[in-house]
Chains A and B, each alone.
Chain A
Amino acid sequence: MQKTKLITWGALLSISVFALITGCTKFLDRKPLQATLSDLNQGGLEGQAIGLYGTIRNSQSSPYCGDGMVGIGYIPMQGFRSGDQTVNADPGAAGYVTAYSDFQYSKDDWANGVYWDRHYAMIQAANILLQTADSLKLSDPASLINIAEADWFRAYSYFDLVKNYGEVPIITKRIYTNADGQVAKSPVPAVYAQIDKDLTFAEANLPSSQPSTQVGRLVQNAARTLHAKTYLMRDAPSPTTQANYQSCLTLCLDIINSNQYALFSPYWAIWKTANENCSESIFEVQCQQNANTAAGSNTTYWSWWGTEQGVRGSGDWNLGWGWNNPTANLVNAYEPGDPRRAATILFSDSSDDPANGGYGRTLPPLTNSLYWNKKCYADPKEQIAAGDPTGAAFENTRVLRYADVILMAAECANEIGGAANDTAAEAWVEMIRARARGTNSAVLPYIQYKNQAQFRAVIKQERRVEFGMEMERFYDLVRWGDAQGTLTGYLPKNEYYPIPTPALAGNSLLVQNPNY
């Protein structure tokens, strides 16, 4: 009796336990109730390549590259060291004045850490695409374009890194584990060699133009322009060698002769929302104000570029955080009557100058900064309509302009010399001045070529005002060897920024830059 009972109960229990355990595998198999990467048909390489254009912009989620490539990590690194740009509108940002404008570089500074990290994140994104292409041995024409795009973004990132830090680790393979990221620094020429390799491939494989539905996507001339810029920079802090001038000039001529670009007139109109991707545009970090935009919430297609630099007032003038203010140096750098001054700078307690890109509004007598960056001044009405006056975050960041190609060509021609080059240089500078001058013949007179030194000074001045507030000035001064004489507090070691502490912590082979 007892035994039967025992057997019955035992059997009952073991059957149920067995049944439960065998069913567990299915019960435990839970996949996310949302898309993962493997659930998405991203169109292979094309999807990854498109991702690169978003990666360089976005600050909203991993890998947050926008923070270091257009955002608050980018602005002080590329801008505040120029003597022409700084931040004084934000009392909380005083540290950035010291760390960047006053050349008291800080290796623990947040912006520096972000700048380094996000550039390597961009490189990793490009490396992932390249690794995919490599493992699948893709060589069809469309894939070659995608590979060329990845190469371009990788070269763009390394160019930023090498001009800001000098020797940096070259990583061209996808990183899987922490150990893969332990890479020592390479010499500066090796970094440029890598850039040359990537851009040469990009120049050969990027299409010469893009369909209208993909305006702003990389083309051959974008690779040539970036490549041309790297030739001028690579001998810094001394002026470039003849060979590099020649290489740069050749690329610029290819671009000019392609007849794909024209300077856009008037000058101030380049920065208006309607003129994004205008005839002068070679590369922009593209943003969009999505129609489905609730106040400040849908930031998928936004960058912080405009928000960070907008006028920091109150009420209707609370247009942004006021980072990147023109300095008095820049304000005073323009020739009398140069319309580019009014197109570049907003003045506190003054009209926003409707004749030069204003909207007929008057700035209040703000004293936190007397000057503001007009190249990030979108129509406040649009912003207020979007429910977020400080949210001018949908303005494209103009990165490479045709005007830069023209002035690089002029600079190279002048440095190489020879009658034909001198004449060409003179004509190119006049192209820039004529566009700036517009219909007002009373300003910006024609400048005749006299000698190399005279015209070198002309070109330097022209670059300064043409690209005012556009993050070019510091690097121009460095490559011309002029930084030390021009920038207060600048020492030779300040060409390079110290490598941020978190980067040193994450890579045991990395050593700090000299003198930091």
Chain B
Amino acid sequence: MKKYLTYESIGFHAVKKALFFMKLTLVFLMAGIFQVSAKVKGQTLLSLKANHIEISKALRTIESQGEYRFLYNNNLKSISAKVDIDVSSENIKDVLDKLFIGTDLTYKMLDNNLIVVLSSTLALQDIKVTGKITGPNGEPLSGVSVSVKGTSAGTTSDNNGNYTLTAPEKGTLVISSIGYQSQEIPIDSRSVINVKMTASSKSMDEVIVIGYGTASKRDLTGSIVKVDGKQVADKPNSNPIASLQGQVAGLSVVNNATPGSTPDVRIRGTISIGSIHPLYVVDGNFQDNISFLNPNDIESLEILKDPSSLAIFGVKGAAGVIVVTTKSAKAGQVSVNFNTYYGVKNLVDPIQMANGPQFRSILTQEGQNRFFDNGYTTINNFVANDMANWTGNTNWINAITQTAHTSLTNISVSASSDKNKFYMGAGYNTDEGLVQGVKYSRISLSIQDQYSINKAVKVGFVINGSQENLPWDGNGPMNNAMQVAPIIPGGTKSFYSRNPYGGLTDSANYNLYSTVPTIQNTLANPFLQMYANSRQTDIRNRIVGNAFIEVNFLKNFNFRATGYMDLGYEAQNLYTPLQNQYNPDPFPGAPVVIPYQTITSVTQNNINIQKYQTDFILNYKKQIGSSNLTVTGGFTTTYIGNFFLHGQIQQAPGADPIPNDKRFWYISTGFGNAAATSASSLSPSYNTPQWENTTVSGLLRALYNYKNKYYLNASLRRDVTSSWLPSDPNQGQNFWALGGAWEITRESFMDNQKFFNFLKLKASTGVLGNANTYLNGTFFPYPAYPGISPNSSAVFGTHTINAYSANYTAAPNAQWETVNSSEIGIEFVALQNRLHFETDWYNKVTNNLLIQLQTSGNLPQLTNNGNIKNDGFEFSAGWTQAINKDWSFSVNGNLTTFHNIVQSIGTPLLADPQVPSQTIAGYPIGYFVGYKVIGVYQSYADILSSPPSSVNGQPVAPGDLKYADLNHDGKVNGSDVTQIGNPTPKFGYGGSVNVIWKQIELGIEVNGVYGNQIYREWGTSLQQNSLYNYPSYDINAWHGAGTSNWIPIVDAQHLNNRAPSSYGIEDGSYFRIRNLQLGYNFTTDLLSKANIKSAKIFINVQNLVTWKNNLGFSPEYGGFQNEAGGASATSFGVDIGDASGALPRIITGGINVTF
């Protein structure tokens, strides 16, 4: 077994395992197709004695005696008839004659002792059964499972409640659907069977996928929300989680408008200053995100929130878990599904910046203000030159954005037989960003197969493959578009100029973009930047799969071994092109052509990710008297390897530029200066370009109940990680949870009440873990091994000598963060199963925060120090009612309250001069710190009568923001900063309404948050490295006593106004119609002619309207992206005016057809 333990062999084993299962499956498939043929010679005499034996069994006994082989159809009615037989030493003819007496069977001898058994009458016929399934009020029910008892044949009803299947004429149909009582109906040779369902409270018996197994919802003591894959399939979001916004209590989703990006997802608050995203468990495989999945391949999503559900995930569980189950074939016939949508995206609420005349007017004002300050203007060339040659009036945000397009096309095939279940899906998704040239696309393929070798053994595999074309994010040009002056011409102008790539003879007329005025020398024309940024390709290929074998033995035991493999390969090729621009206003002279970029370069990054996981799970399930017990034990290992290769070349001085052609976007093309290969990104620092990480874990869980009345869940997991040193006493950590529940409606005293159909009280508590590997936004694969920096290297004259220093020191007993988590809840179903209600109180305290403890001037020490507390309530309720056979509706709503406080932290994370997000003890995580604005100083008299102010070390002047002297010490200074905002909402809520009228369906989803603040950085504390365009409201800025008591004087030199303050604080509450979908289901009569089972067309509008209170593009600002693409836990809710916050309105139309 030792061999197993190096990573190479793990990889090899996993591959081998997968190959083995694939082969095995193939062999079984072949076996099913080719009948075994037998050779029979000679005339053996047979003996057979049996009472009440099935004829088929008697035939098998004969086969086992000698050379005879029988060929017959299993569906022959008489073959299963029972007969008595007693023959000895007779030849085959006599035996068969006796055996078949009284039946309609005959036989025919062939060569090779092969005997064909025939029926004189027709065999039991399979007939086609159709029908309509309706609810209590005659409304059609879709998705109802219809199966033939005792077989795996079956189907589900379509959107109009109709079903069709082939079944034996004497068979029995089993009709079941969540929320309704199951029925068994004998077919009795009928070809039309309509069924009316009656409601039941059995939604509690719904099967839920939990960690390492499944359980009925009733048996659990925690809070798990199951979302049907349908809910994310037809929404225009490439990431399925974006479609859950507002639909699940406790789940906060903050969207990011960059196509292909992952939203900022937090479950029940922010538990850490580092890693906070939930764990995604895709068919058992641990993942950090699910951007590689096609939403159409998802069967269900389960959101796990409470300790009782999460402890089994150990050190990965504390931030919550989203279990994703991909589609597999359902019982029944071959089904082919095709769906597609196409849509457009528009920016609905652009930020209002000054237009040309406004800019000139405000700029003049600023020039005058600065002149007043110090006698000369520091706005470059403004006095010397009135910039009359800058004649543009460009709305730059409009100029660089577009009506974007999005589309998704998907086809899937599923089929199942007695032994085999097969599913295949293929999808293509494109998604453009609002900034021109930003486009994401993904091709995905999913294959799944399960094969039952016999009653005891089942094998199967899943493969999800995808290729993603990742876009650049558009943020740079969007920021520039907000900052460049509107007087810059937006279009191009033709100049007879040199081709930047060519020689002296290549001059021609070129259409060039304008440069920016000298006063904006740190900025660039957004079009030039967009062109440069779009010269890149970024392709990510990924194959995620698993193969398993499952064995049932000793009646109560089930063992499952699964090998997972996730191979990812990303290739980035970036090119810096040569571009010319023109200066409309050189001093002195006529417009001239100047270079924007003079040196070409190419950067190539290859990222190779390998993940392997093995699970060995043993299950024991037993009913003892009134007690039901399920015990799960397991052993699991993970391996992650990440290998990054980076190279860069640059055009050598005087050498040919690297051509602007994808052919040459590689580092080894013969172009470029090989010697200029940059090593900086490869130099060891915190983040090693290649790393490996392994874990080994054991787990144990017991689900127990007594008479389905009293429930007890207990789970335990031990995780050992390679991240900590073997000498670290905390290399292995234990996590556990205990939960209990009481189903009150099972008590006899509840028998006489009519209100509740179901009522359950539940509580759980435990210790969960958080493997926080993001420290200050940087990923630490080896926290116990400090990285080193080569930048201590010395230079002596022209000689350099390398020297290295460590980046931090590691505490010898460091450990992962632990979270003490508890929950108490009530859930009930009432009023004839129409009302569902659930409420929970949650409380989570994160201990041992992993931080870098900083002593001034010294290397930081990585250690555990700090606590964060999150608590709140969740409410969710739903009402479902069918009014009559045409009308039905359902209404759902949820609300979650959030309360976060950092109880202690070893090294506070302080605000910076631009972004006021701060994390210190006694305040909510990432709260905004700053001054409280009480107005604008109107005059010197006003200043003299107010407490003296020295914010940012500057005395104030009329027109400056007046800050409150909060500590009443008679001075306004650094001691007067306070909490001016909290980026975490007081509560978040959402809901949906679904109405069905005959063929028409209307679905509306809403969501919102309340009680959080947004900090707007643009127009307030943003450090301007040159002069930037003004927000249009600056036209009303203070320009003399009484002109404004809120907008300060326009003067970038008045540092007082740039301090983070309540001037930049905006109400983050919003309410949004997130999604509106109108669908039409075609009637079956129309479709059956085209061999279509069901068809639906729909129109969907996402972000139809948002009622918000801030000036930004949208009210949603997730955590700043950290280097690994995750969201920052401590800096969120800040509007920096980039493209990721520009959430579009998306209108799509689509069809969904099942054959």
Contacts and interface: CB of A to CB of B under 8 A. Distances in A.
Interface of A: 2, 5-6, 9, 13, 16-17, 19-37, 40, 42, 47-48, 50-55, 57-58, 60-63, 88-92, 94-95, 97-99, 104-110, 116-125, 171, 175-178, 180-182, 210, 212-217, 276-277, 286-288, 290-295, 297-301, 312-315, 318, 364-369, 384-385, 387, 501-503, 505-507
A301 B587 contact: no
Contact of A32 (B559, B648, B691): B691
Nearest to A90: B1025
B786 interface: yes
Given A35-B788, A178-B855, A25 B950 contact: no
Nearest to B576: A295
A109 B953 CA distance: 8
A461 to B, nearest CB: 27
A104 B681 CA distance: 40
B858 A181 contact: yes
Nearest to B517: A314
Contact of B858 (A120, A287, A365): A120
Contact of A51 (B4, B653, B792, B908): B792
A507 B696 contact: no
B794 A51 contact: yes
A27 B638 CA distance: 10
A60 B1024 CA distance: 23
A62 B952 contact: no
Contacts of B858: 120-121, 124, 175, 181
B1024 A106 contact: no
Nearest to B3: A23
Interface stretch (B68-76, B241-249, B593-601, B985-993): B593-601
B796 A286 contact: yes
A186 B886 CA distance: 87
Given A53-B795, A177-B861, A290-B800, A32 B782 contact: yes
Contact of B953 (A2, A42, A106): A106
A123 B521 CA distance: 39
Interface string B797-838: 111111111111100000000000000000000000000000
Interface stretch (B43-51, B416-424, B460-468, B670-678): B670-678
Given A292-B675, A293-B676, A60 B791 contact: yes
A9 B553 contact: yes
B27 interface: no
B637 interface: yes
Given A37-B786, A40-B788, A27 B696 contact: yes
Q: Give the size category of B's interface with A.
A: 35 or more
Contacts of B121: none
A92 B1058 CA distance: 10
Contacts of A314: 515, 518, 521
Nearest to B599: A387
A178 B795 contact: no
A57 B795 contact: yes
B800 A19 contact: no
Contact of A50 (B378, B635, B801, B855): B801
Nearest to A116: B856
Given A51-B794, A55-B805, A98 B1055 contact: yes
Interface in B305-362: none
Contacts of B518: 313-314, 364, 366
9 contacts: A28-B694, A33-B688, A51-B792, A55-B792, A95-B952, A120-B858, A299-B791, A301-B795, A367-B376
B553 A318 contact: no
Contact of B384 (A297, A315, A365): A365
Contacts of B695: 28
Contacts of A301: 793, 795, 800
B676 A368 contact: no
Contacts of A42: 803-804
A94 to B, nearest CB: 4
Interface stretch (B392-400, B718-726, B958-966): B718-726
Contacts of B797: 212-216, 276-277, 286
Given A98-B953, A314-B518, A292 B676 contact: yes
Given A98-B1055, A292-B675, A300-B791, A506 B683 contact: no
B692 interface: yes
B4 A54 contact: no
B42 interface: no
B1124 interface: no
8 smallest CB-CB distances across A and B, nearest first, come from: A120-B857, A181-B855, A54-B792, A51-B803, A53-B794, A106-B953, A19-B1, A58-B791
A62 B378 CA distance: 36
A312 B520 CA distance: 11
B855 A213 contact: no
Interface of B: 1-2, 4-6, 10, 376-384, 515, 518, 521, 553-554, 557, 559, 583, 587, 594, 598-599, 601, 616, 618, 635, 637, 639, 648-650, 653, 675-681, 683-685, 688-696, 720-722, 726, 731, 781-782, 785-809, 853-859, 861, 906-908, 910, 912-913, 950, 952-955, 974, 1023-1027, 1052-1055, 1058
A298 B678 contact: yes
Contact of B378 (A26, A29, A88): A88
A47 B803 contact: yes
Contacts of A501: 974
A294 B4 CA distance: 44
Given A54-B792, A60-B789, A90-B1025, 12 more contacts: A5-B554, A16-B616, A22-B1, A37-B786, A37-B788, A51-B794, A60-B791, A110-B912, A116-B857, A178-B906, A293-B676, A506-B856
Given A110-B913, A300-B793, A176 B809 contact: yes
A73 to B, nearest CB: 13
A9 B557 contact: yes
A111 B384 CA distance: 33
Given A30-B722, A95-B1055, A294 B953 contact: no
Contacts of A287: 795
Contact of A26 (B2, B785, B861): B2
Contact of A292 (B677, B788, B791): B677
Given A95-B1055, A313-B518, A61 B794 contact: no
Given A62-B808, A297-B678, A365-B384, A216 B857 contact: no
A92 B794 contact: no
A40 B6 CA distance: 25
Contacts of B789: 58, 60-62
A30 B952 contact: no
A294 B807 CA distance: 25
A506 B1052 contact: no
A106 B952 contact: yes
A385 B653 contact: yes
Given A37-B806, A61-B807, A295-B601, A50 B794 contact: yes
Tell me which of A33, A57, A313, A365 has the highest count of chain B C-beta atoms within 10 A of its own C-beta: A33
A98 B374 CA distance: 12
A299 B793 CA distance: 11
Contacts of A16: 616
A428 to B, nearest CB: 29
A273 B380 CA distance: 30
Contacts of B10: 27
Contacts of B1026: 91-92
A54 B688 contact: no
Contact of B553 (A5, A20, A106, A119): A5
A365 B380 CA distance: 9
Contacts of A123: 857
A25 B4 CA distance: 12
Contacts of B677: 292, 294
B1024 A91 contact: yes
Contacts of B521: 312-314, 318
A87 to B, nearest CB: 10
B800 A28 contact: no
Contacts of A61: 685, 789, 791, 807
